Amino acid sequence: MEPWRTAIVNKDETHIWLRGYDITQLMSRASFASVLFLLHKNRLPTDGEERLFNALLIASADHGSGAPSCATARLAASGNRESLSAAVAAGILAIGDVHGGAGALTMDAIEVIVRGAKTAGGRISDAAIRFVDRAKEFGQRVPGFGHRVHTTDPRVSVLFQMAKDAGIAGAGVETVLALDAALKLRKTDIPINIDGALAAILYDLGFPPSAGKLIFIAGRVAGLTAEVAEEHEREKPMRIRIPITYDGAPPRDL
Amino acid sequence: MEPWRTAIVNKDETHIWLRGYDITQLMSRASFASVLFLLHKNRLPTDGEERLFNALLIASADHGSGAPSCATARLAASGNRESLSAAVAAGILAIGDVHGGAGALTMDAIEVIVRGAKTAGGRISDAAIRFVDRAKEFGQRVPGFGHRVHTTDPRVSVLFQMAKDAGIAGAGVETVLALDAALKLRKTDIPINIDGALAAILYDLGFPPSAGKLIFIAGRVAGLTAEVAEEHEREKPMRIRIPITYDGAPPRDL
Amino acid sequence: MEPWRTAIVNKDETHIWLRGYDITQLMSRASFASVLFLLHKNRLPTDGEERLFNALLIASADHGSGAPSCATARLAASGNRESLSAAVAAGILAIGDVHGGAGALTMDAIEVIVRGAKTAGGRISDAAIRFVDRAKEFGQRVPGFGHRVHTTDPRVSVLFQMAKDAGIAGAGVETVLALDAALKLRKTDIPINIDGALAAILYDLGFPPSAGKLIFIAGRVAGLTAEVAEEHEREKPMRIRIPITYDGAPPRDL
Amino acid sequence: MEPWRTAIVNKDETHIWLRGYDITQLMSRASFASVLFLLHKNRLPTDGEERLFNALLIASADHGSGAPSCATARLAASGNRESLSAAVAAGILAIGDVHGGAGALTMDAIEVIVRGAKTAGGRISDAAIRFVDRAKEFGQRVPGFGHRVHTTDPRVSVLFQMAKDAGIAGAGVETVLALDAALKLRKTDIPINIDGALAAILYDLGFPPSAGKLIFIAGRVAGLTAEVAEEHEREKPMRIRIPITYDGAPPRDL
């Protein structure tokens, strides 16, 4: 078999290097969040970037036992007591475009709008209005907006303020705020959600759209491990009973 | 359905609290590693604990594309391009007692030895010798020792030194070092591995054995997300070809 | 890399052989259930074995949307719309010793009892009583008995009758019936469950204990694929809301 | 919580009905393959359909330990010995649009071509040529064609012949054969692959595109369970070593 190529980890009998940095130096002096940043970006973050990246991971960490990823992990833990890996993995499998993964779609939308503004030689705010109008015309959702629990997601404004204070807010934050203004202009009052805020900031930190899902997963795993631990500590196996209504074919003979 | 009970996250329309702390305060002032600590331990770490916990997560983050968890994630990403969640989850599923999960077994062993020493009114070093002798008698492995790549795992001594410097090293570190001495005394020269070091320190930080796996998973996810991102960026779908030798039944007729 | 060894599939540019049989012959003349049998046992089943094996897979296929494996698959499908593989895999991850996987434990118990009877030169019925008494003494469950929905599981007697009719019922069925009698003798009236019946019959078909889980999984996947398809067809994304009660730390300041 | 709706399984204390049929009747008289058909289609298959559906599942069952799904399952089993569910699930996670899942894309293509032919009042063969030309123009692959091992996939002609013999071959088989002819006309000689054949037949059996993945998964699980069992029986934990070449950043200081 051809060797696999990688630019992430190198090692010998007595060393491990992550992106070229000796792991013992990273362990002594770096934070876990900056190593995650390093693994993805091939450079360590500045202080401001590190602060913001920590905030973003904390914002993704957990959103309650009933969030689809957490509930899926707990349900798997309820039936499969012997594998902690299995329960955490099940939780991750519930993360997709509609849950936690909308960041990737929003980053795609940001890219489209920023490029659209450039091509038209115009402003992001105008491109955002065109984007919203086209979405409405075709009955599509604007990614990064709307939440089933929060009227105002408390995480969003904190993230945007931190991004501004650190001088990191750029076209990503501008575009999401422009979409927010465009939606209000068109009388659609739905709040920016955490996926939208994450996408804006990951964009301004220079991450590609796939990071919208991958970084969310890295953050959410913190909560998933705690949810699974709690299920094991506090609950009996098989405790979860889902109420079911059957509305299918009546009894029939073979 | 009965409501599910949880002591982890609470929220209302405009707030989210993790273990009682407002998530916006955590985002502004805490690190991601300390929030992971908080989610599991219901309290924030001290500065020394936070430093050590970061080191432990970095030590777990990645160990090369060929480590079973990383290779499994890349293989899944090679066949399934459309789901990043699926590839990361597949990587986690390769984590078990023999890969990454040995921390849990080692923590069980630490508990047995510490209790054994107490019951016998003796010293941990003597209990560790009895443990090693019994393992040898029954042909069992001593968990937390031995590695297929490293003769000396560079991560171990750094972790132990940091634990001592921070005044956190206790019965966990003492027991793993006692096992190391007992193995040498019995002419078995196999090094402490990262699972053993992780277990010692998680024990001294007051985590239960299950954390041996769960915290390793939370750390390894950092690497898995980077490995999956690299597979998508650098490689074509279906590029992996495993060489196979067939040694089963010869052609036969139905 | 050393080539991997396998005795399952061989192929060249124009042929595929499963356990030595040309796949086109199997496709033309065999049933899917007998190919599953072949893949595990390296021989095709007799007519009686095939009939029984089909029954056993049908018995495992689905047990309602609220069964942990099915509910986990639907929950994952609710959050992750873009990956059918992810939802089915999540369902499988909920299968463990307490759900669907008890067959493996029961097969271990059968083995212990059959061997115990042989060693003692006695009867399986006596060994079963000793097994039940010891389980009671240590507060352990007898694997393969008890169900949270059914007072009498309708699948059990059908399987046992079919096994007898086909002349396949042996020490496996005898042992599980002996455990049933021993439990009644000790005034514990809990029914044989599907895991117990599966285990008895897999044992009599010559499968190893691990098959208790693997064959159940192969059967249950039928139901999981249908449950996931129904979730996609009938329900909106994110429709599942789990009621939660928070009983953790009150609001506190950082 | 609102009860979940389902039309698949109903049960009471002593009965289980799958799509209205008593499970004990199905166990006594039906095959596993026809129950899988029933769960998806809400009716039992005719004899011809059952025969063809069995062939289709057998065709999907296994394609060698090196197929991405099988290799992923074995790699997960190599690191995680304690969870059979985890290893099988990992294998399923490797199934996507480029491996095993192309059936869904092909079914979409069939639908487009059949509709295109109807709208134009023309023949499927002409619509297939237009489809191939457009794919070439935009540099896109024609789904359901091409394989990295087989020059002629032995499973394809058997499936098509069986479909014709049973009188089931319809617009699905016609379209895939028309695409084959169109590719040859345009001097592109790549064979119909198993995904293409599966898609044609599932289409003619009246399944929706998602079945292209789900039915393949249900078939492949047979092989995955056997591959995982073989890994446990024949191989030591952690035996798999992937050769790696590092081509990233050189050693650098923090």
Q: Is B210 at the interface with chain D, CB within 8 A?
A: no
Q: How many CA atoms lie within 13 A of B148 on its CB side?
A: 15
Let me know: does C40 contact C211? Beta carbons within 8 Å.
yes
Let me know: does B176 contact B199? Beta carbons within 8 Å.
yes
- What DSSP string describes D101-119? -HHHHHHHHHHHHHHHHHH
User: What are the two backbone dihedrals, phi and then psi, of residue D5, each rounded to the nearest 5 degrees?
Assistant: -95, 145
Helix axes A194-204, A102-119, angle to 10 degrees: 60
Nearest chain A alpha carbon to D9: A246
Q: Which pLDDT score, from 0 to 100, does residue A103 have? A: 83
How many helices (H) and strands (E) chain B has is answered by: 11, 5
Q: How far is A100 from chain D (nearest CA, A)?
A: 19
Q: Is B175's pLDDT higher than 80?
A: yes
Q: Which are the contacts of A201, defined by CB distance < 8 A and separation ≥ 6?
A: A52, A56, A159, A160, A163, A168, A169, A172, A173
Q: How far is B142 from chain C (nearest CA, A)?
A: 26
Residue C83's pLDDT band (cuts 50, 70, 90)? very high
Q: Which pLDDT score, from 0 to 100, does residue D2 have? A: 86
Q: Is A196 at the interface with chain B, CB within 8 A?
A: no
User: How many C-beta atoms lie closer than 10 Å to residue C151's C-beta?
Assistant: 11
Q: Is A68 at the interface with chain C, CB within 8 A?
A: yes
Let me know: does C236 contact C207? Beta carbons within 8 Å.
no
Query: Cα separation of C131 and C133, whole Å?
Result: 6
Q: Is B49 at the interface with chain A, CB within 8 A?
A: no
Q: Is B77's pLDDT higher than 90?
A: yes
Reading phi first (left if > 0) and then psi (alpha if -120 to 50, else beta), residue D246 is in beta
Q: Pick the closest to residue A192 from A132, A130, A150, A138 (CA basis).
A: A150
Q: How far is CA C49 from CA C34, C54, C151, in A?
A: 9, 8, 28
Residue pointed to by tokens 């204990």:
C209
Q: Which residues of chain A have pLDDT under 70?
A: none
Q: Which pLDDT score, from 0 to 100, does residue D209 have? A: 92
| Residues B47, B49, B51, B53, CA torsion sign | negative
Q: Which are the contacts of C254, defined by CB distance < 8 A and separation ≥ 6?
A: B21, B22, B25, B26, B29, B30, B44
Q: What is the rounded average pLDDT of the residues C187-213?
A: 93
Does the beta-carbon distance from C86 to B83 stay under 8 Å? yes
Q: Which are the contacts of D250, defined by CB distance < 8 A and separation ≥ 6?
A: A20
Nearest chain A alpha carbon to C149: A241
User: What are the two backbone dihedrals, phi and then psi, of residue B2, each rounded to the nearest 5 degrees?
Assistant: -55, 140
Distance of CA B248 to the CA centre of its chain: 38
Let me know: does A100 contact A199? Beta carbons within 8 Å.
no
Q: Which of B24, B85, B227 to mutate against chain A (most A CBs within 10 Å)?
A: B85
Let me know: does B97 contact D81? Beta carbons within 8 Å.
yes
The DSSP element (H or E) to which B16 belongs, if any, is: strand B16-18
User: What are the two backbone dihedrals, phi and then psi, of residue A85, each rounded to the nearest 5 degrees?
Assistant: -55, -45
Q: What is the pLDDT of residues C1-57, one digit of tens each?
A: 789 999 999 999 889 999 999 999 999 999 999 999 999 999 999 999 999 999 999
Q: For residue D176, what are its two tokens?
A: 């895939």
Scanning A14-43 for CB atoms below 8 A from B yields 14-16, 18, 22-24, 26-28, 30-33, 35-36, 39-40
Residue type, D156: V
Query: Cα separation of C113 and C127, whole Å?
Result: 6
Scanning A221-240 for CB atoms below 8 A from B yields 221-223, 225-230, 232, 234-235, 240
Residues A231-240 as b or e (16 or more Cβ within 10 Å = b)? bbeeeebeeb
Query: Cα separation of B104 and A112, whole Å?
Result: 47
Does the beta-carbon distance from B30 to A58 stay under 8 Å? yes
From chain D, pick out residues whose CB is under 8 angstroms from the CB of A84.
none
Q: Pick the closest to residue A36 from A48, A24, A19 (CA basis).
A: A19
User: How many C-beta atoms lie closer than 10 Å to residue C160's C-beta?
Assistant: 18
Pairing of strands C9-11, C16-18: antiparallel
Q: Is C149's pLDDT higher than 80?
A: no
SS3 of residue B245 by DSSP: strand
Let me know: does D72 contact B76? Beta carbons within 8 Å.
yes
Query: Cα separation of D205 and D175, whole Å?
Result: 14
Q: Is D101's pLDDT higher than 80?
A: no
Helix axes D154-165, D47-61, angle to 10 degrees: 170
Q: For residue B132, what are its two tokens?
A: 């090693």
Query: Cα separation of B200 and B202, whole Å?
Result: 6
Query: Cα separation of B253 and B246, whole Å?
Result: 18
Interface predicted TM-score of the whole assembly (ipTM), two decimals? 0.95
Note the residue count of chain C.
254
Q: Is C78's pLDDT higher than 80?
A: yes
Q: Is C8 at the interface with chain B, CB within 8 A?
A: yes
How many helices (H) and strands (E) chain D has is answered by: 11, 5
Q: Is B98 at the interface with chain A, CB within 8 A?
A: no
Q: Which pLDDT score, from 0 to 100, does residue C102 have? A: 73
Q: Is B119's pLDDT higher than 90?
A: no
Q: Is the whole model's pTM more than 0.90, yes or no? A: yes
Q: What is the rounded average pLDDT of the residues D148-165?
A: 89
